[in-house]
Amino acid sequence: MSELPVLRLRPKSKPQAIRHGFPWVFADEAVLDRRTRNLEPGGFAVLEDAERRPMALVTVNPHSKIVARVMDADPAAQIDGDWLRARLRRALQMRERLYDAPFYRLIHAEADGLPGLIVDRFGDAAVMQPNAAWADRMATDLADAIADIAGVTSVILNGQGRARTLEGLEERMEILLGMAPDAPVPVRMNGATYLADLMGGQKTGLFYDQRPNQAFAQKLAQGAEVLDVFSHVGGFGLAALAAGAARATCIDGSATALELAVGGAGLMDMGDRLEIMQSDAFKAMEQMAEEGRRFDLVVCDPPAFAPSKSALDAGLRAYERVAKLAAPLVAPGGYLVLCSCSHAADLTQFRNVSARGIGRGGRRAVLIHAGQAGPDHPILPQLAETGYLKALFFRLDG
Protein backbone atom coordinates (compact mmCIF):
# COMPACT_ATOMS: atom_id res chain seq x y z
CA MET A 1 0.00 0.00 0.00
CA SER A 2 1.23 3.50 -0.80
CA GLU A 3 1.97 5.74 2.18
CA LEU A 4 1.31 8.82 0.09
CA PRO A 5 -1.77 10.93 0.73
CA VAL A 6 -4.66 10.79 -1.71
CA LEU A 7 -6.07 13.61 -3.83
CA ARG A 8 -9.48 12.76 -5.23
CA LEU A 9 -11.28 14.24 -8.21
CA ARG A 10 -14.77 15.63 -7.78
CA PRO A 11 -17.61 13.51 -9.19
CA LYS A 12 -18.34 15.96 -12.02
CA SER A 13 -14.72 16.33 -13.13
CA LYS A 14 -13.44 14.63 -16.29
CA PRO A 15 -10.91 11.94 -15.39
CA GLN A 16 -10.58 10.85 -19.01
CA ALA A 17 -8.62 14.05 -19.73
CA ILE A 18 -5.98 12.95 -17.23
CA ARG A 19 -6.01 9.40 -18.57
CA HIS A 20 -5.50 10.77 -22.09
CA GLY A 21 -2.48 12.84 -21.09
CA PHE A 22 -3.67 16.18 -19.73
CA PRO A 23 -1.16 16.92 -16.97
CA TRP A 24 -2.98 19.33 -14.64
CA VAL A 25 -5.74 19.20 -12.06
CA PHE A 26 -7.31 22.57 -11.26
CA ALA A 27 -8.46 23.46 -7.78
CA ASP A 28 -12.15 23.33 -8.69
CA GLU A 29 -11.75 19.77 -10.02
CA ALA A 30 -10.44 18.23 -6.78
CA VAL A 31 -11.87 17.52 -3.36
CA LEU A 32 -10.12 20.08 -1.17
CA ASP A 33 -11.06 19.32 2.41
CA ARG A 34 -9.11 20.33 5.52
CA ARG A 35 -6.71 17.42 5.08
CA THR A 36 -5.80 18.14 1.46
CA ARG A 37 -5.56 21.88 2.05
CA ASN A 38 -2.90 21.16 4.66
CA LEU A 39 -0.75 19.12 2.31
CA GLU A 40 2.73 20.57 1.91
CA PRO A 41 3.27 22.38 -1.40
CA GLY A 42 5.58 20.33 -3.58
CA GLY A 43 4.76 17.04 -1.90
CA PHE A 44 3.45 14.00 -3.74
CA ALA A 45 0.10 12.22 -3.68
CA VAL A 46 -1.87 9.53 -5.44
CA LEU A 47 -4.57 10.96 -7.67
CA GLU A 48 -7.84 9.04 -7.59
CA ASP A 49 -10.99 9.45 -9.61
CA ALA A 50 -14.35 9.95 -7.92
CA GLU A 51 -14.75 6.16 -7.65
CA ARG A 52 -11.47 5.98 -5.68
CA ARG A 53 -9.55 4.31 -8.51
CA PRO A 54 -5.86 5.32 -8.58
CA MET A 55 -4.96 7.25 -11.73
CA ALA A 56 -1.48 8.75 -11.37
CA LEU A 57 1.20 10.02 -9.08
CA VAL A 58 0.95 13.79 -8.78
CA THR A 59 2.70 16.66 -7.08
CA VAL A 60 0.37 18.90 -5.13
CA ASN A 61 0.18 22.56 -4.25
CA PRO A 62 -3.00 23.49 -2.39
CA HIS A 63 -2.12 27.19 -2.72
CA SER A 64 -2.09 27.17 -6.52
CA LYS A 65 -4.91 27.21 -9.05
CA ILE A 66 -3.16 24.17 -10.50
CA VAL A 67 -3.59 22.03 -7.42
CA ALA A 68 -1.88 18.97 -8.90
CA ARG A 69 0.51 18.17 -11.74
CA VAL A 70 0.97 14.65 -13.06
CA MET A 71 4.47 13.34 -12.39
CA ASP A 72 3.98 9.72 -13.49
CA ALA A 73 1.09 7.70 -14.90
CA ASP A 74 2.10 4.93 -12.50
CA PRO A 75 0.56 5.71 -9.09
CA ALA A 76 3.25 3.54 -7.48
CA ALA A 77 6.17 5.47 -8.99
CA GLN A 78 8.85 6.80 -6.66
CA ILE A 79 10.21 10.27 -7.40
CA ASP A 80 13.88 9.98 -6.49
CA GLY A 81 17.28 10.51 -8.06
CA ASP A 82 16.94 7.52 -10.36
CA TRP A 83 13.55 8.73 -11.58
CA LEU A 84 14.93 12.22 -12.26
CA ARG A 85 17.92 10.81 -14.12
CA ALA A 86 15.71 8.67 -16.34
CA ARG A 87 13.65 11.70 -17.41
CA LEU A 88 16.77 13.80 -17.97
CA ARG A 89 18.49 11.06 -19.94
CA ARG A 90 15.53 10.73 -22.29
CA ALA A 91 15.43 14.50 -22.84
CA LEU A 92 19.19 14.72 -23.42
CA GLN A 93 19.22 11.89 -25.95
CA MET A 94 16.73 13.76 -28.13
CA ARG A 95 18.67 17.05 -27.96
CA GLU A 96 21.92 15.33 -28.82
CA ARG A 97 20.29 13.94 -31.96
CA LEU A 98 19.09 17.41 -32.93
CA TYR A 99 22.03 19.68 -32.12
CA ASP A 100 25.74 19.45 -32.78
CA ALA A 101 26.70 21.74 -29.89
CA PRO A 102 25.47 21.67 -26.27
CA PHE A 103 23.43 24.86 -26.45
CA TYR A 104 19.67 24.24 -26.23
CA ARG A 105 16.68 23.91 -23.95
CA LEU A 106 17.31 20.65 -22.14
CA ILE A 107 14.02 20.44 -20.24
CA HIS A 108 10.76 21.99 -21.42
CA ALA A 109 8.56 21.36 -18.40
CA GLU A 110 5.49 19.14 -18.88
CA ALA A 111 6.48 18.20 -22.43
CA ASP A 112 9.61 16.52 -21.04
CA GLY A 113 7.80 14.90 -18.13
CA LEU A 114 9.16 17.32 -15.51
CA PRO A 115 6.21 19.65 -14.85
CA GLY A 116 7.00 23.27 -14.17
CA LEU A 117 10.75 22.85 -14.71
CA ILE A 118 12.77 24.71 -17.33
CA VAL A 119 16.45 23.93 -17.94
CA ASP A 120 18.53 25.69 -20.58
CA ARG A 121 22.02 24.44 -21.34
CA PHE A 122 24.96 26.68 -22.15
CA GLY A 123 27.86 24.32 -22.77
CA ASP A 124 29.28 23.36 -19.37
CA ALA A 125 26.65 25.38 -17.51
CA ALA A 126 22.92 24.89 -17.04
CA VAL A 127 20.33 27.37 -15.81
CA MET A 128 17.21 25.93 -14.25
CA GLN A 129 13.91 27.65 -13.50
CA PRO A 130 11.89 25.63 -10.97
CA ASN A 131 8.44 27.11 -11.51
CA ALA A 132 6.60 24.41 -9.59
CA ALA A 133 6.84 23.78 -5.86
CA TRP A 134 8.14 20.22 -6.22
CA ALA A 135 11.06 21.32 -8.42
CA ASP A 136 11.90 24.13 -6.01
CA ARG A 137 11.98 21.66 -3.12
CA MET A 138 14.10 19.18 -5.07
CA ALA A 139 16.39 21.77 -6.64
CA THR A 140 19.57 20.26 -5.19
CA ASP A 141 18.61 16.75 -6.32
CA LEU A 142 17.83 18.13 -9.76
CA ALA A 143 21.18 19.92 -9.97
CA ASP A 144 23.02 16.73 -9.09
CA ALA A 145 21.04 14.76 -11.67
CA ILE A 146 21.61 17.38 -14.39
CA ALA A 147 25.35 17.37 -13.73
CA ASP A 148 25.45 13.58 -13.72
CA ILE A 149 23.49 13.08 -16.94
CA ALA A 150 24.52 16.13 -19.00
CA GLY A 151 28.05 16.44 -17.67
CA VAL A 152 27.76 20.15 -16.85
CA THR A 153 30.00 21.61 -14.16
CA SER A 154 27.79 24.53 -13.11
CA VAL A 155 24.07 24.65 -12.33
CA ILE A 156 22.41 28.00 -11.63
CA LEU A 157 18.92 28.38 -10.18
CA ASN A 158 17.06 31.38 -11.58
CA GLY A 159 13.98 31.60 -9.42
CA GLN A 160 12.29 34.67 -10.86
CA GLY A 161 9.17 35.34 -12.85
CA ARG A 162 5.40 35.33 -12.86
CA ALA A 163 5.07 31.54 -12.87
CA ARG A 164 6.72 31.27 -9.45
CA THR A 165 4.45 33.96 -8.04
CA LEU A 166 1.42 31.95 -9.12
CA GLU A 167 2.86 28.95 -7.27
CA GLY A 168 3.44 30.98 -4.11
CA LEU A 169 7.22 30.67 -4.46
CA GLU A 170 9.65 33.39 -3.47
CA GLU A 171 12.15 34.81 -5.93
CA ARG A 172 15.69 33.59 -5.49
CA MET A 173 18.93 33.34 -7.42
CA GLU A 174 21.39 30.67 -6.39
CA ILE A 175 24.41 28.78 -7.66
CA LEU A 176 23.60 25.16 -6.86
CA LEU A 177 26.72 23.58 -8.31
CA GLY A 178 30.14 24.83 -9.42
CA MET A 179 30.70 28.48 -10.19
CA ALA A 180 28.86 31.04 -12.29
CA PRO A 181 30.66 32.10 -15.48
CA ASP A 182 32.69 35.26 -14.87
CA ALA A 183 31.52 36.73 -18.20
CA PRO A 184 28.62 36.34 -20.62
CA VAL A 185 28.73 33.01 -22.43
CA PRO A 186 29.17 33.12 -26.24
CA VAL A 187 26.52 31.04 -27.98
CA ARG A 188 26.67 30.22 -31.71
CA MET A 189 23.32 29.84 -33.46
CA ASN A 190 22.59 30.05 -37.17
CA GLY A 191 26.07 31.40 -37.81
CA ALA A 192 25.60 34.31 -35.39
CA THR A 193 27.25 34.78 -32.00
CA TYR A 194 25.13 35.77 -29.02
CA LEU A 195 26.21 36.67 -25.50
CA ALA A 196 24.16 35.08 -22.72
CA ASP A 197 24.31 36.61 -19.25
CA LEU A 198 23.43 33.62 -17.09
CA MET A 199 23.19 35.54 -13.83
CA GLY A 200 21.75 38.90 -14.82
CA GLY A 201 19.94 38.38 -18.10
CA GLN A 202 16.25 37.87 -18.83
CA LYS A 203 14.91 34.39 -18.08
CA THR A 204 17.87 32.01 -18.37
CA GLY A 205 20.01 34.48 -20.34
CA LEU A 206 19.05 33.67 -23.93
CA PHE A 207 15.95 32.68 -25.86
CA TYR A 208 16.60 29.45 -27.75
CA ASP A 209 12.99 29.14 -28.90
CA GLN A 210 13.33 31.50 -31.86
CA ARG A 211 16.21 29.58 -33.45
CA PRO A 212 14.23 28.13 -36.42
CA ASN A 213 12.39 31.41 -37.00
CA GLN A 214 15.64 33.34 -37.04
CA ALA A 215 16.94 30.82 -39.57
CA PHE A 216 13.90 31.43 -41.79
CA ALA A 217 14.31 35.19 -41.45
CA GLN A 218 17.89 34.81 -42.66
CA LYS A 219 16.54 33.71 -46.05
CA LEU A 220 14.92 37.15 -46.34
CA ALA A 221 17.81 39.15 -44.94
CA GLN A 222 20.56 38.84 -47.55
CA GLY A 223 21.61 42.35 -48.56
CA ALA A 224 18.69 43.81 -46.61
CA GLU A 225 18.24 46.74 -44.26
CA VAL A 226 16.82 45.03 -41.15
CA LEU A 227 14.93 46.39 -38.13
CA ASP A 228 14.75 44.18 -35.02
CA VAL A 229 12.18 45.58 -32.56
CA PHE A 230 12.12 44.24 -28.98
CA SER A 231 15.50 42.79 -29.92
CA HIS A 232 16.75 41.65 -26.49
CA VAL A 233 20.40 40.66 -27.15
CA GLY A 234 19.98 40.98 -30.92
CA GLY A 235 18.19 37.73 -31.71
CA PHE A 236 16.96 38.46 -35.22
CA GLY A 237 19.33 41.34 -35.92
CA LEU A 238 22.53 39.37 -35.40
CA ALA A 239 21.10 36.41 -37.32
CA ALA A 240 20.39 38.77 -40.22
CA LEU A 241 23.94 40.14 -40.16
CA ALA A 242 25.31 36.60 -40.18
CA ALA A 243 23.23 35.93 -43.32
CA GLY A 244 24.60 38.94 -45.16
CA ALA A 245 22.27 41.78 -44.22
CA ALA A 246 23.60 45.18 -45.18
CA ARG A 247 22.71 46.64 -41.80
CA ALA A 248 20.67 45.79 -38.71
CA THR A 249 19.04 48.17 -36.27
CA CYS A 250 18.09 46.79 -32.85
CA ILE A 251 15.55 48.49 -30.59
CA ASP A 252 15.09 47.47 -26.96
CA GLY A 253 14.29 49.10 -23.66
CA SER A 254 17.20 47.42 -21.88
CA ALA A 255 20.62 49.04 -22.19
CA THR A 256 22.20 45.89 -20.79
CA ALA A 257 20.62 43.68 -23.47
CA LEU A 258 21.74 46.06 -26.20
CA GLU A 259 25.30 46.05 -24.84
CA LEU A 260 25.27 42.27 -25.21
CA ALA A 261 24.02 42.67 -28.79
CA VAL A 262 26.94 45.00 -29.51
CA GLY A 263 29.31 42.48 -27.94
CA GLY A 264 27.94 39.68 -30.09
CA ALA A 265 28.28 41.76 -33.24
CA GLY A 266 31.85 42.54 -32.24
CA LEU A 267 32.70 38.87 -31.92
CA MET A 268 31.30 38.45 -35.43
CA ASP A 269 33.41 41.36 -36.70
CA MET A 270 30.20 43.07 -37.78
CA GLY A 271 29.95 45.82 -35.21
CA ASP A 272 30.08 48.52 -37.91
CA ARG A 273 26.86 47.14 -39.43
CA LEU A 274 24.84 47.21 -36.21
CA GLU A 275 22.85 50.21 -34.95
CA ILE A 276 21.26 50.10 -31.49
CA MET A 277 18.51 52.26 -30.05
CA GLN A 278 17.47 52.13 -26.40
CA SER A 279 13.86 53.22 -26.40
CA ASP A 280 10.26 52.29 -25.81
CA ALA A 281 9.51 50.24 -28.91
CA PHE A 282 6.17 51.88 -29.65
CA LYS A 283 7.63 55.38 -29.45
CA ALA A 284 10.64 54.36 -31.55
CA MET A 285 8.43 52.97 -34.32
CA GLU A 286 6.29 56.11 -34.33
CA GLN A 287 9.42 58.26 -34.56
CA MET A 288 10.87 56.21 -37.41
CA ALA A 289 7.62 56.48 -39.35
CA GLU A 290 7.68 60.27 -38.94
CA GLU A 291 11.26 60.30 -40.22
CA GLY A 292 10.25 58.23 -43.24
CA ARG A 293 12.62 55.37 -42.47
CA ARG A 294 12.01 52.11 -44.34
CA PHE A 295 13.49 48.63 -43.99
CA ASP A 296 13.51 45.56 -46.20
CA LEU A 297 12.82 43.31 -43.21
CA VAL A 298 11.13 44.31 -39.96
CA VAL A 299 10.86 41.88 -37.04
CA CYS A 300 8.81 42.50 -33.90
CA ASP A 301 9.28 39.98 -31.09
CA PRO A 302 7.64 41.58 -28.04
CA PRO A 303 7.22 40.15 -24.53
CA ALA A 304 4.06 38.26 -23.68
CA PHE A 305 1.27 40.81 -23.89
CA ALA A 306 -1.33 38.15 -23.01
CA PRO A 307 0.26 35.94 -20.32
CA SER A 308 -3.16 34.85 -19.04
CA LYS A 309 -6.77 34.62 -20.19
CA SER A 310 -7.66 37.68 -18.12
CA ALA A 311 -5.08 39.70 -20.09
CA LEU A 312 -6.12 38.35 -23.50
CA ASP A 313 -8.21 41.26 -24.78
CA ALA A 314 -5.65 43.89 -23.81
CA GLY A 315 -2.87 41.70 -25.17
CA LEU A 316 -4.54 41.27 -28.55
CA ARG A 317 -4.98 45.03 -28.81
CA ALA A 318 -1.27 45.46 -28.08
CA TYR A 319 -0.31 42.97 -30.79
CA GLU A 320 -2.57 44.77 -33.24
CA ARG A 321 -0.89 48.06 -32.37
CA VAL A 322 2.55 46.53 -32.96
CA ALA A 323 1.46 45.43 -36.43
CA LYS A 324 -0.09 48.83 -37.19
CA LEU A 325 3.09 50.69 -36.24
CA ALA A 326 5.49 48.24 -37.88
CA ALA A 327 3.74 47.93 -41.26
CA PRO A 328 4.55 51.46 -42.48
CA LEU A 329 8.24 50.85 -41.75
CA VAL A 330 8.45 48.05 -44.33
CA ALA A 331 9.71 49.02 -47.76
CA PRO A 332 7.48 48.11 -50.75
CA GLY A 333 7.83 44.39 -51.40
CA GLY A 334 9.58 43.93 -48.05
CA TYR A 335 8.83 41.54 -45.22
CA LEU A 336 7.31 41.84 -41.77
CA VAL A 337 7.74 39.23 -39.04
CA LEU A 338 5.36 39.39 -36.08
CA CYS A 339 5.85 37.15 -33.05
CA SER A 340 3.88 36.25 -29.96
CA CYS A 341 5.00 34.22 -26.95
CA SER A 342 1.58 34.51 -25.26
CA HIS A 343 0.05 31.09 -24.73
CA ALA A 344 -3.34 32.68 -24.00
CA ALA A 345 -3.52 33.99 -27.58
CA ASP A 346 -3.88 31.13 -30.04
CA LEU A 347 -2.54 31.16 -33.58
CA THR A 348 -5.84 32.15 -35.18
CA GLN A 349 -6.37 35.06 -32.82
CA PHE A 350 -2.81 36.29 -33.28
CA ARG A 351 -3.01 35.98 -37.06
CA ASN A 352 -6.29 37.89 -37.18
CA VAL A 353 -5.11 40.83 -35.07
CA SER A 354 -1.81 40.93 -36.96
CA ALA A 355 -3.61 41.13 -40.31
CA ARG A 356 -5.98 43.78 -38.98
CA GLY A 357 -3.07 45.82 -37.63
CA ILE A 358 -1.25 45.64 -40.98
CA GLY A 359 -4.41 46.86 -42.69
CA ARG A 360 -4.80 49.70 -40.20
CA GLY A 361 -1.19 50.57 -40.96
CA GLY A 362 -2.21 51.19 -44.56
CA ARG A 363 -0.64 48.08 -46.05
CA ARG A 364 -1.73 44.87 -47.75
CA ALA A 365 0.02 41.61 -47.02
CA VAL A 366 0.19 37.91 -47.73
CA LEU A 367 1.27 35.35 -45.16
CA ILE A 368 4.19 33.32 -46.46
CA HIS A 369 5.18 31.29 -43.40
CA ALA A 370 4.11 30.50 -39.84
CA GLY A 371 6.75 29.29 -37.41
CA GLN A 372 6.88 27.97 -33.88
CA ALA A 373 9.53 27.12 -31.32
CA GLY A 374 12.31 24.70 -32.13
CA PRO A 375 12.22 20.98 -31.33
CA ASP A 376 14.10 21.54 -28.08
CA HIS A 377 10.80 23.12 -26.97
CA PRO A 378 8.54 20.10 -27.60
CA ILE A 379 4.78 20.53 -27.47
CA LEU A 380 2.59 18.34 -25.30
CA PRO A 381 -0.49 18.00 -27.54
CA GLN A 382 -2.87 17.98 -24.58
CA LEU A 383 -1.42 21.21 -23.13
CA ALA A 384 -1.67 24.26 -25.37
CA GLU A 385 0.63 26.24 -23.06
CA THR A 386 3.65 24.25 -24.25
CA GLY A 387 3.08 25.50 -27.81
CA TYR A 388 3.14 29.16 -26.89
CA LEU A 389 5.40 30.67 -29.59
CA LYS A 390 4.03 31.92 -32.91
CA ALA A 391 5.97 33.71 -35.67
CA LEU A 392 4.15 35.05 -38.74
CA PHE A 393 6.07 36.05 -41.86
CA PHE A 394 4.29 38.48 -44.18
CA ARG A 395 5.27 39.94 -47.54
CA LEU A 396 3.93 43.46 -47.83
CA ASP A 397 2.86 44.89 -51.18
CA GLY A 398 2.80 48.56 -52.18
85 and 11 fall within a common domain? no
Which among 122, 153, 177 is the end of a domain? 177
220 and 139 fall within a common domain? no
Reported as half-sphere exposure (CB side, CA atoms, 13 A), residue 210 has a value of: 27
339 labelled catalytic: no
Please report, for the domain that includes residue 229, its CATH number: 3.40.50.150
Which among 177, 196, 213 is the end of a domain? 177
Rg of the chain taking only CA atoms, in angstroms: 22
Please report, for the domain that includes residue 34, its CATH number: 2.30.130.10
- CA 393 – CA 283 distance, rounded (Å): 23
Over its length of 398 residues, how does the chain's per-residue pLDDT go in tens digits?
458 999 999 998 878 899 999 999 999 999 999 988 999 999 999 999 999 999 999 999 999 999 999 999 999 999 999 999 999 999 999 999 999 999 999 999 999 999 999 999 999 999 999 999 999 999 999 999 999 999 999 999 999 888 898 899 999 999 999 999 999 999 999 999 999 999 988 889 999 999 999 999 999 999 999 999 999 999 999 999 999 999 999 999 999 999 999 999 999 999 999 999 999 999 999 999 999 999 999 999 999 999 989 999 999 999 999 999 999 999 999 999 999 999 999 999 999 999 999 999 999 999 999 999 999 999 999 998 899 999 999 999 86
86 and 57 fall within a common domain? no
Q: What H or E segment, with its residue span, contains residue 259?
A: helix 255-267
Angle between helix 255-267 and helix 235-242 axes, rounded to 10 deg = 20
53 and 127 fall within a common domain? no
205 and 339 fall within a common domain? yes
Which among 35, 54, 72 is the end of a domain? 72
pLDDT score at 2:
59
Establish if 1 belongs to a structural domain: no
Phi and psi dihedrals of 184, rounded to 5? -55, 145
223 and 317 fall within a common domain? yes
193 and 167 fall within a common domain? no
Establish if 60 belongs to a structural domain: yes
Establish if 67 belongs to a structural domain: yes
45 and 192 fall within a common domain? no
Establish if 223 belongs to a structural domain: yes
Q: Considering only CA atoms, which of 182, 188, 176, 178 is closest in space to residue 200? A: 182
Residue among 250, 300, 339, 341 flagged as catalytic: 341
Q: How would DSSP label each residue in 295-319?
A: EEEEEE----S-SSGGGHHHHHHHH
Looking at residue 110, its amino acid is E
Establish if 282 belongs to a structural domain: yes
Which domain range does residue 47 map to? 6-72
In the chain, what are the helix, strand and coil shares in percent, each to the nearest 5?
A: 35, 30, 35
221 and 318 fall within a common domain? yes
Number of domains the chain contains: 3
39 and 91 fall within a common domain? no
Establish if 319 belongs to a structural domain: yes
pLDDT score at 161:
86
Looking at residue 241, its amino acid is L
pLDDT score at 58:
98
325 and 260 fall within a common domain? yes
49 and 91 fall within a common domain? no
Alpha-carbon distances of 164 from 63, 161, 169, 391, rounded to whole Å: 12, 6, 5, 26
- CA 284 – CA 274 distance, rounded (Å): 17
Query: Is the separation of the CB atoms in 366 and 394 below 8 Å?
Result: yes
Please report, for the domain that includes residue 130, its CATH number: 3.30.750.80
Q: Considering only CA atoms, which of 63, 64, 55, 62 is closest in space to residue 23? A: 55
